[in-house]
Structure 1
């Protein structure tokens, strides 16, 4: 299973390079189901792997002028605060056993995975159904600052809870609230994901969890290699096609995780 896990790790980077997101959607299941990392620790590992990979992608996108720094800054500040507080002060105090539904005992780990999947499915449906056209790069962009700040704070909390970089929430916000073209939203998303994921990981270092940095760096190097492959492939795919394909991908993964955690128990 570990060999499959390393192959899937490359797909984490390919996903980030291709659509600016999906890395964390793959990372948490890969760590939990293929490397057998317990879910709470997997969310911490995910922050490092996705954050370091997205950082490389964000720098690459900046050099290609595919990052809106103003939007990234407005979105990132409330997100930084929310993700650090959540990882440092909220997650460690969630009880291991939450409640029971019939014969199913809902633990902290199951709740994290199912909540993660639910958020994925809601966002995926919104991306699939949205037909709104984004303006061309030559048009003026209307920024809805209050909503961007609110979205940044909400994404920060969700990032802290489930260890997701949040690109599957950031990209819709950038497209719909900042009116960024899809491919520019991808580059901006990578920069935001990198910053808040790595800051969130700092909260885990201070929480006393044992961190296997050799494992983390190994997976991150593989994912970064995949990122360059994804970036190359993105040159040949239209932004609208990326948006639709991304939505379907997230939806399928969300349904799988719910079934895996609540029906097809190991």
Structure 2
């Protein structure tokens, strides 16, 4: 049964990432907790690997399309602050209470849901300068390491608003940043001996079905009404956030 639920989790995560682009990876930790049965610390660590592998697949797919190439200058600037803060976020997450981590994740899910329920705004881009991009990069990197999400739903708007990138270029750049941040955070846990016990079978199953799901999701995305999919996903996020709150409150201690 666990194997079936793990495969289902991989497909759900991959499909959500393929259809929605930024934001889909936020389902990974709840899926690992509720469907696969991992505890919070293990779910966050495994999520870093799964999200990184799926984002890497998305990046490879983007290489086939010239308009979906990442912006090199912005990528380098963002990575300068996001990579070190991802490592620090992962190390902080290893020592603080799992309840605090779940609290941060719930807040992020609510923020993401609200953003998806709102009508998309026009792209009023501003050239905010290097310092603001570095600050946003540090924040999103820390969030990635702390709670195991890709942070694309924060990175993409930041790249559009502060770096002046188009949505397509911002999403492509975001995927590369997610790969970098999740890799740095996961390696930080391993080298400092703060990683939980790894479940190789779960990782391989999730990554394999997640990659298949993201490829299928990118195909399906062209056939579905985007605004309806985003609204449905937003309500699912709110429901899952409520479930995480109930789970946390019901745990002893």
Partner of 1:82: 85
Runs of 5+ unmatched residues, structure 2:
none
Partner of 2:128: 144
Deviation at 1:171, TM superposition (A): 2.3
Deviation at 1:228, TM superposition (A): 0.3
C-alpha RMSD over aligned residues = 2.7
The Cα offsets for residues 198-244 of structure 1, whole Å up to 9 and x where unpaired, read as 11110111232332334312211110010100111233457766766
Matched, 1:119 2:108: yes
2:174 to 160, 185, 189: 189
Give the stretch that moved more between structures: 236-245 or 31-40: 236-245
SS at structure 1 position matched to 2:216: helix
Partner of 2:216: 229
Matched, 1:109 2:111: no
SS at structure 1 position matched to 2:192: coil
TM-score, structure 1 as length reference = 0.80
More helix by share: 2
Partner of 2:144: 159
In structure 2, how many angstroms separate the alpha carbons of the residues matched to 1:114 and 1:259? 11
In structure 1, how many angstroms separate the alpha carbons of the residues matched to 2:211 and 2:65? 18
Runs of 5+ unmatched residues, structure 1:
95-107, 136-140
In structure 1, how many angstroms separate the alpha carbons of the residues matched to 2:150 and 2:183? 9
State whether residues 120 and 168 of structure 1, in contact with CA within 8 Å, keep that contact through their aligned partners in structure 2: no
State whether residues 51 and 197 of structure 1, in contact with CA within 8 Å, keep that contact through their aligned partners in structure 2: yes
SS at structure 2 position matched to 1:164: coil
In structure 1, how many angstroms separate the alpha carbons of the residues matched to 2:166 and 2:240? 25
Partner of 2:35: 34
TM-score, structure 2 as length reference = 0.84
Give the stretch that moved more between structures: 239-248 or 254-263: 239-248
What aligned pairs does 1:16-27 form with structure 2 within 5 A after superposition? 16-27=17-28
Taking structure 1 as reference, are residues 195 and 111 closer, same or farther at Cα in structure 2, changes over 3 Å only? same
The Cα offsets for residues 37-59 of structure 1, whole Å up to 9 and x where unpaired, read as 11112111100011011001012
